[in-house]
Homo-oligomer: A and B are copies of this chain.
Amino acid sequence: MAKPSTSAAPRLSKKDYEARAAVLREKLVQLQVRLKEAPFKILLIVAGVEGAGTGDLLNTLGSWLDPRGVETFSFRDPSDEERERPFLWRFWRSLPTNGRIGIYAGSWYTETLRAALHEPPAQQDLSPEFERIRHFEKLHADDGTLIIKVWLNLSKTAQGRRLRALSSDESTAWRVSPDHWQYHRHYARLSRLAISIHRATHRPHAPWTILDAEDDRARDLDTASLLIARFQAHLRKHGRPLKTKAPSAATRRSLRPAGLKRLQSLPLDQQLSAADYEAKREKWLGKLNQAVRTASAAKRSIVFAFEGWDAAGKGGAIRRLTSAIDVRDYRVIPVAKPTDEEKAHHYLWRFWRNIPRAGLTAIFDRSWYGRVLVERLEGFARDDEWKRAYAEINDFEQQLTARGIIVVKFWLHIGRDEQLRRFRAREETTYKRHKINDEDWRNRRKWDAYEVAVGDMLALTDTTTAPWHLIPANNKRHARLQILKTACKQIETALA
């Protein structure tokens, strides 16, 4: 774009620019070809001083990159669907799949920056925001994502010169808005804020690169060079999926034996007669109905996670639960093997997507705990991955509860013999036969190892705000009633 030159320093000549651009463009094309097959994505975050030319840079990158592999994001005020979920939800929903580039003209940094324009930073404690951002970036970097953060810098003098030059020419004056001048006036304060953001969120896996944007041509070339250099380094380290084929011996060793003890000491022989069950069930369904409606009226959402042994009765328990809830107020989300799209994302992505709107209920039939159960034991997650997952999951649930969402987690526990009885019964009933397959029998043979994993899960993710409820489920009626009671109490406590 041949806009009036606003630079005092000598601008890169057009000829030099074009020669260097030609080289970089070819490399960018090669980058995209290789990225397409790579097991990771690139997030390129562009932020910076007002007037440094984010929009122009995006346009240049748009012409250099193959648009089919790129998505560009920017964010206006959040919609109500976004405001009703945790802060990071709108960013989770925007993430590209592996093999693609997401360019963020606005990002998880934008709101902090914008808010600071109107409020002196001294009055704000930004540490929770920074903490949240660090977690988010770490989570994705750990997953292999290449995070590139560019800060376009412009000195106060250069900014003023650019704004004046644009304003003085009638045909370009529209490029300068009152906001620009306000940013100019508060240059020093915003600079200090930028420095504190950089310090707080500059990490080896997600470093900031500060680029001088005074020369628009150099700015575009430098950004492209950075993208290429970071990609090449990343490819050497993360070019191949690291998945081990066979699960390591570590998957079978308990990290925290207390959980296993808790599991094994659960008495399983409770009984509940059909008559007793009939007598109590409707009462508790009614209480649950009331509790869910009260939560809904208060715009509080509920997230149920149902985990348990194969054939422990998760499906049946869920149907009893939902019979008390208005069909418009809940959704059941069955969690099976991830789809191709889900595999090209972080393992938590498909759960983030399904966080309910304010006042609604989501019931997960199996959940994010698959990461530390089946994925741990079948080698779908490496040791470092499933070991890291406990903290990631606690952080995920903490974001839900902090947003007012009520999280209720059940482990349905049955004995080994009871499972065998149910497996055989399933095999004998024509229309239930599809519910049982070789995998179920394989998992059953690994009972001891699963028990260890369940124990670790109970010990490491039993938090105050999202505790585990162990349900003895050898007797289905007893289990169902206890689930109803527990759900009621949890919701009522959360609302109290």
Q: Which residues of A contact B (CB under 8 A)?
A: 1-3, 22, 25-26, 28-29, 54-56, 58-59, 62-64, 66-68, 72, 74-76, 79-81, 105-106, 169, 171-175, 278, 282-283, 285-286, 289-290, 315-316, 319, 322-323, 325-329, 331-332, 334, 336, 340-341, 357, 360, 365, 429-431, 434
Q: Which of B66, B169, B329, B434 contacts A434 (CB 8 A)?
A: B66
Given A26-B430, A79-B80, A56 contacting B171 (CB threshold 8 A): no
Given A62-B319, A332-B72, A171 contacting B55 (CB threshold 8 A): no
Minimum CB–CB distance for A364 against chain B, Å: 12
Asked if A174 and B327 make an inter-chain contact with CB atoms under 8 angstroms apart, the answer reads no
For A67, list chain B residues within 8 Å (CB).
Answer: 315, 332, 334, 365
For A430, list chain B residues within 8 Å (CB).
Answer: 22, 26
Query: What number of copies of this chain does the assembly contain?
Result: 2
A16 to B319, CA, bound (A): 22
Asked if A54 and B171 make an inter-chain contact with CB atoms under 8 angstroms apart, the answer reads no
A62 to B323, CA, bound (A): 11
Closest to A82 in B: B81
Asked if A326 and B55 make an inter-chain contact with CB atoms under 8 angstroms apart, the answer reads yes
Asked if A360 and B431 make an inter-chain contact with CB atoms under 8 angstroms apart, the answer reads no
Asked if B334 and A68 make an inter-chain contact with CB atoms under 8 angstroms apart, the answer reads yes
Could you write out 22 A-B pairs with CB less than 8 Å apart?
A1-B323, A22-B431, A26-B430, A28-B431, A29-B434, A55-B322, A59-B319, A59-B322, A59-B323, A64-B431, A66-B434, A68-B334, A72-B332, A75-B328, A76-B329, A76-B360, A79-B79, A80-B80, A106-B328, A172-B282, A174-B289, A341-B341
Asked if B323 and A2 make an inter-chain contact with CB atoms under 8 angstroms apart, the answer reads no
Asked if A327 and B431 make an inter-chain contact with CB atoms under 8 angstroms apart, the answer reads no
Closest to A279 in B: B171
Asked if A174 and B286 make an inter-chain contact with CB atoms under 8 angstroms apart, the answer reads yes
- Other A-B contacts than A79-B79, A80-B81, A173-B286, 5 sampled, CB-CB below 8 A, are A26-B430, A55-B322, A67-B315, A174-B289, A174-B290
Closest to A433 in B: B29
For A75, list chain B residues within 8 Å (CB).
Answer: 328
Minimum CB–CB distance for A166 against chain B, Å: 10
Minimum CB–CB distance for A55 against chain B, Å: 4
Minimum CB–CB distance for A14 against chain B, Å: 13
Minimum CB–CB distance for A437 against chain B, Å: 12
Asked if B26 and A328 make an inter-chain contact with CB atoms under 8 angstroms apart, the answer reads no
Asked if B2 and A278 make an inter-chain contact with CB atoms under 8 angstroms apart, the answer reads yes
Minimum CB–CB distance for A169 against chain B, Å: 8
For A283, list chain B residues within 8 Å (CB).
Answer: 171
Asked if A323 and B74 make an inter-chain contact with CB atoms under 8 angstroms apart, the answer reads no
Closest to A336 in B: B68
A63 to B432, CA, bound (A): 10
A323 to B63, CA, bound (A): 12
A62 to B54, CA, bound (A): 50
Closest to A58 in B: B327
For A62, list chain B residues within 8 Å (CB).
Answer: 315, 319, 322, 332
A28, A55, A66, A282: which has the most chain B beta carbons within 10 Å? Answer: A282
A290 to B171, CA, bound (A): 12
A323 to B340, CA, bound (A): 36
A75 to B79, CA, bound (A): 18
A71 to B1, CA, bound (A): 49
A70 to B64, CA, bound (A): 42
A190 to B172, CA, bound (A): 61
For A173, list chain B residues within 8 Å (CB).
Answer: 286
For A431, list chain B residues within 8 Å (CB).
Answer: 22, 25-26, 28-29, 64
A3, A68, A278, A325: which has the most chain B beta carbons within 10 Å? Answer: A68
For A25, list chain B residues within 8 Å (CB).
Answer: 431
Q: Which of B282, B331, B365 contacts A72 (CB 8 A)?
A: B331
Asked if B76 and A79 make an inter-chain contact with CB atoms under 8 angstroms apart, the answer reads no
Q: Which of B54, B68, B171, B357 contacts A327 (CB 8 A)?
A: B54
Closest to A64 in B: B431
Asked if B105 and A327 make an inter-chain contact with CB atoms under 8 angstroms apart, the answer reads yes
Minimum CB–CB distance for A271 against chain B, Å: 19
For A169, list chain B residues within 8 Å (CB).
Answer: 282
For A360, list chain B residues within 8 Å (CB).
Answer: 76
Minimum CB–CB distance for A114 against chain B, Å: 11
For A278, list chain B residues within 8 Å (CB).
Answer: 2
Closest to A288 in B: B174
Asked if B74 and A328 make an inter-chain contact with CB atoms under 8 angstroms apart, the answer reads yes
